[in-house]
Structures are given as C-alpha cells and as structure tokens.
C-alpha cells in the first residue's frame, strides 16, 4: 500500500509489532460503512465517476458478504483492517479500488471507524443499563416492605427495607446511563475528511458524510479530528465508574449469600459447586463481576497513559487505543448481563433479614428521637440517655424492644409504654417518611417515578 518509496520488505519484527488486524478486524463493519459514505460523497462531488463509484460499492458489498460468511481472508501482510479491505477490494474489482482512498487517510479512517464502534458500544451499554434498572425496580417493588438492617461501617445502623436498598442502585445505574448518554452526545461528530491531518485539497463535502453516518456535524479541526481519543477516554471513565457500581452490588450479593448473613438465595442458575466440598454453593458470577471491575479501570488508565505524551497529530501509539477499549466493553457487557440475571434470580429470605434488622439495637435512634419529640429533651441528652438504655439492655441480654418499662423509667421516669411502638424495626422504617427515606410509601413513590422514566 505504501511500497513506492521502499526498496526492501519490512523486517519480520517490523511486521510483528505493526500488525493490528488480529484486533482491529472488529472494526470491519464500521470500516465498510465509512467507505460506502466516502465513495458516495466523492461521486456526488465529481471527484470520482459514477461508474467507478458503482464498481466500488459493488465491491464493498462483496467484501461485506465475505465477512458475513466468514470467508473474508484477513491477512497479516496487510497490517490492519483498512488495508485488508482495500487490498481485497482491489482483488475483486481491480485498480479502480485505488480511487476509494482519494481525499482520505488511514488516520481519519481509523478515527472514524473507532468512533463508530464506541458509539455503538454506548448504545448497547445504555440498553443494558435500562434492563438492569428494570430488574432492580421489579425486585424493589416486590420488597418495598421487606425489612433488613441498614449498615454503616458494615455494622447494623438502622432498619431499612430491601426495596430501598435496591433502589439506591437504580439511582447509581441511572447516573451511569446519564454519563454514557452525555458522552455520546459530545462525541457524535465526524472526523472523516480530516485526511492525514490537514484536510483535503479535493472538493469534499464533510457535512454530507457526517450526515450519512449519523453524526451531528463534522469535527471542526482536522488536527483534532485525527488525534482526539477523548471519546474513548470518556467511554472508559464512565465504564470504570459503572463497573465500580456493579462491583459494589456484587460484593453485597456475595456477603448476603454467606450462611452467616443468609439474606438472599441464588438459584442453581447463578451459582456453582465445589469439586471437593459437596455442600458448597458459590456466587461465582457475582465474584467475577466484582473482579472484572479491575479491567475497566485498567483500560482507562492504559489509554490515558497512551495519550498523555502524544504531540499533535496522529502517532502510531494510538493504535493501542483499541484493545483496552474492546476489553473494557466486553467485560462491562458480560457483567451487566450477569448482574441483570442475578438480580432477577435472587430471592430474599425475609425472616433472616427481619431478624437481623432488629438485632444490634438498631432502633436506638428511634428511642432517642422519641425522647426528643415526646419529652422535649435536647437531642444530645436523648442520645446519652439512649446509650444508657442500650448498655442496660446489653447487660440483661435483651433487645431494646424487650427492655422492661421499669428499666427505662429508671433512666427517665417520664417515659411511657407507648415508646415501644417506635422500637420495632417495622415502625422504625415506616417512620422515615422524609423525601428519599426508607418508609415503604417513599420506596413505592421512587419505584413509580423510575418506572415512568424508563418507559
């Protein structure tokens, strides 16, 4: 393709380090789409003849068919996807294939192909995130009243509902979706026609190719067009944050599945056994979702390192943009799918959750709040008095709700029997009616709001 000024073949090592067809063959469809749009534009602008364009389009179609049938010969000697397609095109239609590369360089070509690929990855991920949110919503709605302990420091803090807990993740994945959608909007400009770096002397119509390929506009600076990779960086950053959310949820599933917690059950579909310990049922899928988060962040770090020292415009370093991006989105895709499956599959064990929700003096704050509201104590004093009640209950080996009234009255004689109404986990959760709080009605309101938004 570029042999004119060369008299010797590249060293085998040169080819080995240079070749990218092993991974950039994933850009085949995008490469063909870009070429079709480019050829049509060249003809419309009078840069190539109608007959030549027709031959090129027919040839590109044939190449597409070979690819669909798995018959396309991907060859290392042609280095990358762009030259593999062009070489095959020449074999199929002859020298007229050489006209396709008029007013185009591999630099804007790869920038285009990769951008199209990332744009599709955004769309797939957004679709998957909506699916995951729907699965979470369904579980949350069914468990708007299911009590469980809410934790801080992984110590029982206050009773919450399982529905409320799941809805927290609906919020997180909602922000992830908005990050992806936002980045997609920003990246939707076409680099095609920037050519090698400086633009083209041919009367090309960059607006036409941009439109044909679904972009909002052509990129406004040709140097930027061939050397920008922040669309991929943004995708990877959003992907890393999303993977972090998935990992936190995965971690909770792992913890909830332990016999010590016993909060949920996963069916045989999302667990595995042990080859030596017959009793085992392991949450491997959750563990792998947690583990794969490492890849997502590594990919972002990797591409940032590739880009940070590059002068304008294109440098071959940028060929290293694809592998981390493909890998990050492959692992995000399987993680989102597996998590959606697990959420639909998991069943809470309400007795275990409720028992834990009441343990660890989890309604102590409710007692303190009662003292403030009913006896008009300053909160600090109420906090201190409640601490004394917890200490006493601990000494007697009972829960706060089981502490005899006489014991409470020993701390403050004004305490009356109706205090027990706030000391159950159900009453505690139901009382937290503030906007975004854990009261079942609040949870249902949030479920309804999200259902509407995800329609």
Tokens of 125: 């991920």
CB of 317 to ligand ARG, least distance (A): 9
Between residues 114 and 450, which has the closer beta carbon with respect to ligand ARG?
114
**Do 428 and 362 touch, CB atoms closer than 8 A?**
yes
The single residue listed with the structure tokens 């989102």 is 336
Q: Considering only residues 2-21, where is the footprint of ligand ARG by CB under 6 A? A: 20
The stretch among 87-95, 105-113, 246-254, 364-372 that binds ligand ARG (CB under 6 A) is 105-113
CB of 97 to ligand ARG, least distance (A): 18
| 106 scored as a contact of ligand ARG (CB under 6 A) | yes
| 80 scored as a contact of ligand ARG (CB under 6 A) | yes
Between residues 224 and 251, which has the closer beta carbon with respect to ligand ARG?
224
**CA 203 to CA 75: how far, in whole Å?**
34
CB of 76 to ligand ARG, least distance (A): 13
Q: What angle do CA 360, 365, 367 make, to 5 degrees?
A: 100
For residue 9, the 8-state DSSP code is P
Catalytic, 101? Answer no
How far is Cα of residue 365 from the mean position of the Cα atoms in its chain?
A: 37
**CA 140 to CA 135: how far, in whole Å?**
9
**CA 28 to CA 88: how far, in whole Å?**
12
CB of 133 to ligand ARG, least distance (A): 35
**CA 314 to CA 107: how far, in whole Å?**
7
List, as one string, the DSSP characters of 276-304. Answer: S-TT--B-HHHHHHHHHHHHHHHHHHHHH
Among positive and negative, which fits the CA dihedral 31, 22, 303, 244?
Answer: positive
Between residues 60 and 313, which has the closer beta carbon with respect to ligand ARG?
313
The closest of 251, 266, 249 to 129, measured between CA atoms, is 249
| 345 scored as a contact of ligand ARG (CB under 6 A) | no
Give SS3 for 264. strand
**Per-residue x/- mask for ligand ARG, residues 293 to 332, rule CB under 6 A?**
---------------------x-x-xx-------------
Of 274, 315, 362, 431, the catalytic one is 274
| 167 scored as a contact of ligand ARG (CB under 6 A) | no
| 110 scored as a contact of ligand ARG (CB under 6 A) | yes
**Per-residue x/- mask for ligand ARG, residues 414 to 433, rule CB under 6 A?**
--------------------
CB of 65 to ligand ARG, least distance (A): 24
Between residues 319 and 325, which has the closer beta carbon with respect to ligand ARG?
319
Catalytic, 49? Answer no
The stretch among 102-110, 116-124, 163-171, 428-436 that binds ligand ARG (CB under 6 A) is 102-110
CB of 316 to ligand ARG, least distance (A): 6
CB of 73 to ligand ARG, least distance (A): 18
Count interface residues toward ligand ARG (CB under 6 A). 10
| 24 scored as a contact of ligand ARG (CB under 6 A) | yes
Between residues 221 and 315, which has the closer beta carbon with respect to ligand ARG?
315
**CA 396 to CA 398: how far, in whole Å?**
6
Between residues 28 and 371, which has the closer beta carbon with respect to ligand ARG?
28
CB of 189 to ligand ARG, least distance (A): 19
List, as one string, the DSSP characters of 214-259. Answer: T-SEE-S-HHHHHH--HHHHHHHHHHHHHHHHHHHHHHHHHHHHST
The closest of 187, 188, 185 to 177, measured between CA atoms, is 185
Tokens of 266: 């996963």
Of 7, 153, 275, 434, the catalytic one is 153
Pairing mode, strands 347-348 and 189-190: unpaired
Length of the chain: 455
Between residues 22 and 94, which has the closer beta carbon with respect to ligand ARG?
22
94, burial (CB in 10 Å: exposed 0-12, middle 13-18, buried 19+): exposed
Q: Which residues contact 212 (CB under 8 A, 6 or more apart)?
A: 37, 40, 41
Backbone angles phi, psi at 135, to 5 degrees: -65, -45
Please identify which residue in 30, 84, 107, 363 interacts with ligand ARG, judged by CB under 6 A. 107
Between residues 255 and 310, which has the closer beta carbon with respect to ligand ARG?
310
Backbone angles phi, psi at 6, to 5 degrees: -105, 145
Between residues 314 and 370, which has the closer beta carbon with respect to ligand ARG?
314
Cis omega (within 30 of 0) for bond into 291: no
CB of 198 to ligand ARG, least distance (A): 13
| Site residues for ligand ARG per CB under 6 A | 20, 24, 80, 106-107, 110, 314, 316, 318-319
Residues marked as catalytic:
153, 274
């Amino acid at each position: 393709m570029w042999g004119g000024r060369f008299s010797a073949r590249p060293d085998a090592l040169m080819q080995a380090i240079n070749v990218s067809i092993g991974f950039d063959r994933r850009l085949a469809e995008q490469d063909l789409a870009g070429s079709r749009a480019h050829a049509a534009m060249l003809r419309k602008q009078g840069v190539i003849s109608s007959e030549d364009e027709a031959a090129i389009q027919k040839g590109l179609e044939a190449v597409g068919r070979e690819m669909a049938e798995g018959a396309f010969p991907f060859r290392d000697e042609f280095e990358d996807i762009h030259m593999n397609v062009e070489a095959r095109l020449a074999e199929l239609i002859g020298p007229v294939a050489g006209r396709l590369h008029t007013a185009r360089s591999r630099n804007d070509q790869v920038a285009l192909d990769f951008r199209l690929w990332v744009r599709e990855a955004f769309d797939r991920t957004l679709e998957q995130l909506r699916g995951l949110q729907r699965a979470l919503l369904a579980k949350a709605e069914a468990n708007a009243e299911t009590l469980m302990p809410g934790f801080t420091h992984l110590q029982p803090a206050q009773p919450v509902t399982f529905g409320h807990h799941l809805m927290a993740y609906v919020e997180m994945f909602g922000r992830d979706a908005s990050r992806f959608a936002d980045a997609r909007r920003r990246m939707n400009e076409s680099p095609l026609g920037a050519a090698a770096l400086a633009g083209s002397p041919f009367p090309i119509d960059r607006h036409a190719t941009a439109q044909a390929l679904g972009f909002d506009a052509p990129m406004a600076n040709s140097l930027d067009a061939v050397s920008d990779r922040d669309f991929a960086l943004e995708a990877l950053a959003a992907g890393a944050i999303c993977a972090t959310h998935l990992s936190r949820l995965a971690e909770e599933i792992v913890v909830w599945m332990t016999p010590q917690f016993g909060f949920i059950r996963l069916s045989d579909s999302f667990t595995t056994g042990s080859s030596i310990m017959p009793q085992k049922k392991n949450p491997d899928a959750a563990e792998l979702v947690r583990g794969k988060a490492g890849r997502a962040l590594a990919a972002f770090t990797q591409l940032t390192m590739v880009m940070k020292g590059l002068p304008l415009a294109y440098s071959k370093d940028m060929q290293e943009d694809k592998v981390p991006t493909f890998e990050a989105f492959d692992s995000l895709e399987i993680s989102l799918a597996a998590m959606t499956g697990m959420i639909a599959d998991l069943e809470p064990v309400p007795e275990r959750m409720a028992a834990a929700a009441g343990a660890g003096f989890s309604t102590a704050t409710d007692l303190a709040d009662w003292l403030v509201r009913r006896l008009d104590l300053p909160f600090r004093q109420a906090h201190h008095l409640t601490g004394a009640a917890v200490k006493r209950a601990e000494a007697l080996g009972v829960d706060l709700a089981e502490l005899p009234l006489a014991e409470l009255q020993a701390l403050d004689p004004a305490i009356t029997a109706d205090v027990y109404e706030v000391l159950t986990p159900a009453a505690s959760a139901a009382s937290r009616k503030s906007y975004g709080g854990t009261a079942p009605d609040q949870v249902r309101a949030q479920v309804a709001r999200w259902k509407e938004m995800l329609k």
